[in-house]
């Protein structure tokens, strides 16, 4: 077991905001337990265990009924830990895999049967060497046959280089954590303008998650709220929300997941906005309830 301290709050506050039935947390991870699901030898970081049972208990406390588990780079290309968590929830949870661009179709079909619906690629320096973007876009042709999507995690300084490639993608593209913009640079910063321009093309989606990663202020990260609210207001049918539990590599302290839920009252003030963000949009993109099959 790693001696790394947990990156999640073991006792999050009870949210005041009541979420709609079947609300979806569209961005979480699970780590270990390492005695069952070992970390990859070439992992870029080593977290403390954050197993599915802890995640399930958190969701029960927050009023969350559906979830998207994103494979973490600490587990590499072995997506077993995510598949195990999906199987325990009988169609209420699905997965986004980490895979090499050379993955064969048989493996894609196997993961599809297990409840995976997309592939994530990281373009963040702290998560290791990125796959060539040309190869990522080429994989999109095969993902299209599966009905999958592409999920992209990048530093905001890379958006100008990536946009021309992403526009060629054959499948829907989900942008993580509001494009990791820097909230201190304001709503009119070039990276946020480029993100909004990209979202005018209807194959693009964005997660209004990671407020603590966008913020440059201490909790509750008020400087990040206008960015999330702008995206929900302008692109309300293609926004998704997630806690980012268990908050790997936290830059601004460990978030309180109950507070993150309550921030939805500012991010999506109208009940209709929250229903779209938490229920309707995830159902359309991921296909809830997920049909699990024997691979």
What are the sequence ranges of the domains in the chain?
24-286
- Compute the distance between CA of residue 99 and CA of residue 209 in angstroms, rounded to an integer: 23
Question: Are the C-beta atoms of 194 and 163 separated by less than 8 Å?
Answer: yes
Given CATH 3.40.605.10, say whether it is the number of domain 24-286. no
User: Which among 251, 238, 279 has a CA at the least distance from the CA of 67?
Assistant: 279
Tokens matching residue 231: 């995206």
Residuewise pLDDT in 10s, the chain (295 residues): 577 888 999 999 999 999 999 999 999 999 999 999 999 999 999 999 999 999 999 999 999 999 999 999 999 999 999 999 999 999 999 999 999 999 999 999 999 999 999 999 999 877 767 899 999 999 999 999 999 999 999 999 999 999 999 999 999 999 999 999 999 999 999 999 999 999 999 999 999 999 999 999 999 899 999 999 999 999 999 999 999 999 998 877 899 999 999 999 999 999 999 999 999 999 999 999 999 998 7
Residue from 59, 30, 53, 74 nearest 258 by CA: 59
Calpha distance 30→54 (Å, rounded):
9
The pTM assigned to this predicted structure is: 0.97
Is the separation of the CB atoms in 150 and 173 below 8 Å? yes
Question: Do the bridges between strand 116-123 and strand 66-70 make them parallel or antiparallel, or are there none, so unpaired?
Answer: unpaired
- CA distances to 43, 53, 223 from 40, rounded to whole Å, are 5, 21, 36
| Active-site annotation holds for 104 | no
| Rounded (10°) CA dihedral 174, 179, 183, 184 | -170
Choosing from 244, 256, 262, 280, the catalytic residue is 244
Tokens, residue 147: 């009905």
């Amino acid at each position: 077991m790693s001696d790394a301290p947990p990156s999640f709050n073991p006792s999050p506050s009870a949210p005041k905001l009541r979420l709609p039935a079947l609300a979806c947390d569209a961005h979480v991870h699970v780590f270990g337990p390492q005695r069952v699901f070992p970390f990859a030898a070439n992992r870029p970081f080593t977290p403390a265990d954050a197993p599915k049972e802890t995640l399930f208990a958190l969701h029960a406390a927050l009023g969350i009924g559906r979830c998207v588990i994103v494979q973490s780079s600490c587990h590499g290309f072995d997506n077993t830990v995510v598949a195990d968590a999906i199987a325990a929830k009988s169609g209420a949870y699905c997965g986004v895999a980490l895979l090499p661009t050379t993955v064969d179709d048989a493996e894609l079909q196997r993961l599809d049967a297990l409840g995976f619906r997309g592939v994530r690629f990281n373009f963040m320096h702290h998560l290791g060497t990125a796959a060539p973007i040309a190869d990522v876009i080429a994989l999109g042709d095969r993902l299209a046959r599966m009905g999958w999507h592409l999920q992209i995690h990048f530093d905001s300084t890379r958006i100008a280089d990536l946009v021309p490639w992403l526009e060629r993608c054959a499948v829907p593209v989900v942008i993580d954590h509001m494009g990791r913009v820097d909230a201190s640079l304001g709503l009119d910063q070039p990276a946020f303008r480029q993100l909004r321009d990209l979202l005018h093309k209807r194959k693009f989606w964005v997660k209004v998650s990671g407020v603590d990663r966008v913020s440059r202020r201490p909790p509750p990260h008020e400087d990040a709220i206008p960015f999330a609210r702008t995206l929900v207001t302008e692109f309300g049918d293609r926004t998704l929300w997630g806690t980012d539990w268990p908050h790997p590599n936290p830059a601004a302290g460990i978030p309180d997941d109950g507070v993150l839920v309550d921030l939805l009252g500012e991010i999506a003030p109208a009940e209709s906005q929250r229903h779209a963000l938490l229920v309707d949009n995830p159902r359309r993109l991921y296909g809830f309830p997920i049909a699990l099959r024997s691979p």
